[in-house]
Amino acid sequence: MKVTVVGGSGYTGSELLRILARHPKVGGLTATSTQHAGKKASALHQNLLGIYDKELEVMDKKTLDADFVFLATPHGESMNIAPQLIENEVKVVDLSADYRFDDVKVYEQFYSKHTSPDLCKKAVYGLPELYRDRIKKAQLVANPGCYPTSVILGLTPLKEVKELELNRITVDSMSGTSGAGYKPTEFTQHSEVDENLKVYKVGKHRHRPEMEAVIEEQLKKKVKVSFTPTLAPVIRGIQSNIHVYGSTAVDLMEHYKKYYKKEFFVRITETPCIKNVANTNYCDIGVWYDQNASQVIAVSVIDNLVKGAAGQAVQNMNLMKGFDEKTGLECIAGHP
């Protein structure tokens, strides 16, 4: 199967190439880059030396003439590429935010003017644990944001638990620096990040409306999420602490285990931590009831580049093409 990654120079593109280079169903793998066309992929991503040394190419008719296309393009660019691919009946996973919102107005409020609003309705939100059946039939899948993936998976089982104030959700997330991308900034220099913790965009991060939209759709009610992200001195990983007030006597760990019983990539554990999911497509979740404060606390961890981006994108491709969902995604984290 011929696969093209549009946007092969960034960290998401890099991670897609890493997974797809070993994917048994992928034959011709091509990557494009506006800025770095002509360079070897392994010159930019030196981990791929001897593994994927092909040159990054210009995006054009030839490179887009594939069986499957991943758009690892910035927000606002995917919408200029996807419509033609859909017309050509190429299946597409878009890793940007462009098709994540049913309601184009919300997208336009937090991102920019949308140039293909019609496709938004057609696109399926690519969280397989919630929307597997729809994804199987989709031609265009909008791959979820990293923070939303961790929060939605950590929260959804609570919809079956009564007496919780699910309209008000408080989330504290910590993210590694790979989430900020490859482009150097003062905010993400080693000397600025190491031995540091930095809160940013408090209450203003645009992953918040994405979470709210999906949670509302799941809960069938209006929901407000207060979302506070912190940059932590790790490369990969997101930990989301999800707080919901309410009163319950349910054994929450058992409930979560049962809820996700059939999900290969969700594990329930007393000790969720990002190292156990680093480089993998797993989402590990722990959940506790704080009797004193009458609060449920769910802690959800993922690798932001795998389950939070490239891994989930490949999981979606597997579903869309009828492959075993796990194909190419069986990497295990190291200990230590």
Applying the rule CB under 8 A, the residues between 314 and 333 that interact with its own copies are 330-333
Applying the rule CB under 8 A, the residues between 186 and 245 that interact with its own copies are 186, 188-199, 202-203, 208, 224-228, 230, 232-237, 239, 241, 243, 245
Tell me, residue by residue from 134 to 173, as one string, x for binding to its own copies by CB under 8 A and - for no binding. Answer: ----------------------------------x-x-x-
Query: Is the distance from CB of 221 to CB of 213 less than 8 angstroms?
Result: no
- Pairing between strand 91-94 and 124-125? unpaired
Task: Tell the residue number behind the tokens 């220099």, with chain if given.
Answer: 189
- Which of residues 53 and 160 has its CB atom nearest to its own copies in the complex? 53
Residues 1, 2, 21, 136: which binds its own copies (CB under 8 A)? 21
Q: Which residues contact 213 (CB under 8 A, 6 or more apart)?
A: 101, 102, 103, 106
Nearest Cα neighbor of 140 from 70, 82, 92 is 92
CA–CA gap between residue 255 and residue 172 (Å, rounded)? 23
CA–CA gap between residue 15 and residue 189 (Å, rounded)? 21
- Which of residues 83 and 233 has its CB atom nearest to its own copies in the complex? 233
Applying the rule CB under 8 A, the residues between 276 and 305 that interact with its own copies are 276, 278-279, 284, 286, 288-295, 297, 299, 301, 305
Query: Is the distance from CB of 303 to CB of 278 less than 8 angstroms?
Result: yes
Q: Does 38 bind its own copies (CB under 8 A)?
A: no
- Which of residues 36 and 91 has its CB atom nearest to its own copies in the complex? 36
Q: Which residues contact 254 (CB under 8 A, 6 or more apart)?
A: none
Is 331 labeled as catalytic in the residue annotation? no
Structure tokens, 110: 């937090």
Q: Which of 146, 273, 283, 331 is catalytic?
A: 146
CA–CA gap between residue 257 and residue 235 (Å, rounded)? 29
Residues 38, 50, 262, 322: which binds its own copies (CB under 8 A)? 50
Query: Is the distance from CB of 32 to CB of 70 less than 8 angstroms?
Result: no
Residues 176, 308, 311, 328: which binds its own copies (CB under 8 A)? 176
Residues 137, 220, 222, 335: which binds its own copies (CB under 8 A)? 335
Strand partners, 30: 4
- Which of residues 140 and 298 has its CB atom nearest to its own copies in the complex? 298
Residues 18, 36, 100, 114: which binds its own copies (CB under 8 A)? 18
Burial of 188 (0-12, 13-18, 19+ CB in 10 A): middle
Residues 46, 137, 261, 322: which binds its own copies (CB under 8 A)? 46
Applying the rule CB under 8 A, the residues between 251 and 280 that interact with its own copies are 264, 267, 269, 271-276, 278-279
- Which of residues 15 and 98 has its CB atom nearest to its own copies in the complex? 15
- Which of residues 118 and 191 has its CB atom nearest to its own copies in the complex? 191
Residues 12, 14, 63, 150: which binds its own copies (CB under 8 A)? 14
Q: Which residues contact 11 (CB under 8 A, 6 or more apart)?
A: 178, 181, 182, 305
- The gap between the terminal CA atoms of the chain, to the nearest Å, is 36
Give me the least distance between CB of 152 and its own copies, in Å please.
Answer: 17
Residues 38, 87, 185, 220: which binds its own copies (CB under 8 A)? 185
CA 149-209-196 angle, 5° bins? 65
Which residue numbers are catalytic? 146
